[in-house]
Copies of this chain bind each other. A is one copy, B any other.
Amino acid sequence: MYRPAARLADIEPFHVVELFTRAHQLQAEGRDIIHMEVGEPDFPTPEPIAHAAMAAIASGKTMYTQAFGLPELRQAISDFYRQRYGVDVPARRIAVTNGASGALNLAFACLTNPGDEWLLADPGYPCNRHIVRTYEGRPQAIAVGPQSNFQPTPAQVGAAWSEKTTGLLVASPANPTGTLLTLPEIAALAEVCRARKGHFMVDEIYHGLTYETDAPTACTAGDDIWVINSFSKYFQMTGWRLGWMVIPEPYLRDVEKLAQNLVLCPSTPAQHAALAAFRPETIAILEERRAEFRRRRDFLAPALEALGFRITARPEGAFYLYCDSSALAADSFALARDLLEKTGVAATPGLDFGANAPEKHIRFAYTTGVDRLAEAVERLRRYFGR
């Protein structure tokens, strides 16, 4: 007897896992693999954060917390909004979650009725559409490209909005492209949603990892906007699974009920660790690492372009370069596999990010040092015979 729920037919695995597994198999066989496929910073969690966790564990601070997290952590996040962005986000509107994933689950569970449509950018982070589907919503892709810096425009959102549409999710910086939304662009998208009595959600999990300008937070554009963030990327706490969400006031009770029932509370050691995330000595470490990410991007982008990849998005943030590979190969999935086998360079084909010309794109993550990036470029140069 095999009788899974119907939603499983619409939920895809990460295609990159196949490639990742093969990469580790080759590595086990002694091959030197350069990992540019995974969305995880190569830096360890900063020492002040790690030490705060160890101190909390040593003193027995490992019991359940409130469903929305430690009050002092919620306050610290609120303070961070004031200091970094100059915006007042009261602690009571902040829920600490099991990573940004946990936040997205709670938000979509709170807002999605069966059949409700959510507008999502394509290419985009693949889990979003699968989380929407899990709560019986219907993800609707808005194809985005270089003409709008891979972000949906108000005109596109207005045109895509149907009677079934319940809201819009955007990401700034975006994954896989690293492109940003300006504050006027965020405000304009919010207005489109408001005018249609729809929800507006903004994924800000790559905030802090921007290299020209700081990304503006959607919290500045209205307290009716759902804002998702994470300790994984800028704060380099991936495996700790901790994030947060800024919730519009009317929904606080609903999200809390969901969190009490679905989650109980986020990881207590991780929460105590995160209390050290906003300290000046931690921020100093993070800003050094941000500068290093910038150096990597500034090395890798022109080097890939010299090989024939086209970077049509302005990669202002995150740690990805989303490249048009169509001048080099007809099918980026085949290219990614061939690159791995022949050069040991692992990258993510467009297939994981949606249905908008995935075969023409490949994503390189600059989550490894410049020397290794240079080695990767050299191998690609030989592969393409340049």
Chain A interface residues toward B at CB < 8 A: 1-8, 11-14, 17, 38, 40, 44-45, 50, 53-54, 57-58, 60-65, 98-99, 101, 105, 109-114, 116, 126-127, 130-131, 134-136, 166, 194, 197, 199, 224, 237-241, 250-251, 253-254, 256-258, 260-270
Which of A4, A8, A12, A194 has the most C-beta atoms of chain B within 10 angstroms of its own C-beta? A4
Evaluate contact between B127 and A261: CB separation under 8 angstroms: yes
Tell me whether A17 and B260 are in contact (CB under 8 A).
yes
Q: A263 contacts B101, CB within 8 Å?
A: yes
The answer to whether B134 and A240 have CB atoms under 8 Å apart is no
22 A-B residue pairings within 8 Å (CB atoms): A3-B111, A4-B110, A8-B110, A8-B258, A13-B260, A17-B260, A38-B64, A62-B240, A65-B239, A114-B136, A127-B261, A130-B257, A131-B261, A134-B262, A239-B267, A240-B267, A240-B268, A241-B263, A241-B265, A241-B266, A241-B267, A269-B269
Taking the closest CB of chain B, its distance from the CB of A39, in whole angstroms, is 9
In the assembled complex, how far is the CB of residue A362 from the closest CB belonging to chain B, in whole angstroms? 20
The answer to whether B254 touches A4 (Cβ under 8 A) is yes
* Residue on B nearest A6 in the bound complex, by CB: B113
Q: Is there an interface contact between B134 and A251, defined as CB atoms closer than 8 Å?
A: no
Residue of B nearest to A136 (CB): B136
A13 in contact with B269 given A7-B109, A57-B50 (CB within 8 Å):
no
A12–B240 touching, CB < 8 Å: no
Q: Are A12 and B111 in contact (CB under 8 A)?
A: no
Known: A4-B254, A127-B262. 19 other contacts (CB 8 A): A1-B194, A1-B250, A3-B111, A4-B111, A5-B109, A5-B110, A5-B111, A11-B261, A45-B62, A53-B269, A54-B57, A62-B237, A62-B240, A63-B239, A98-B241, A99-B264, A130-B257, A134-B261, A134-B262
CA distance A136 to B14 in the complex (A): 25
Cβ-defined contact, B265 with A130, below 8 A: no
Residues of B with C-beta under 8 A to A8: 110, 254, 257-258
Min CB distance A325 to B, Å, is: 25
Cα distance A134–B113 when bound, in Å? 10
Query: 9 tightest A-B contacts by CB?
Result: A239-B268, A130-B261, A44-B60, A2-B250, A127-B261, A62-B239, A54-B54, A8-B254, A13-B257
| Cross-chain contact of A257 among B11, B65, B250 (Cβ < 8 A) | B11
Compute how far the CA of A112 lies from the CA of B134 in the bound complex, rounded to whole angstroms.
10
Complex contacts, A265 vs chain B, CB 8 Å? 239, 241
Residues of B within 8 A of A258 (CB): 8, 11, 134
Task: Pick from B238, B256, B262: contact of A63, CB below 8 A.
Answer: B238
Q: Which of B17, B58, B113, B197 contacts A5 (CB 8 A)?
A: B113
CB within 8 A of A64: which of B54, B127, B135, B238?
B238
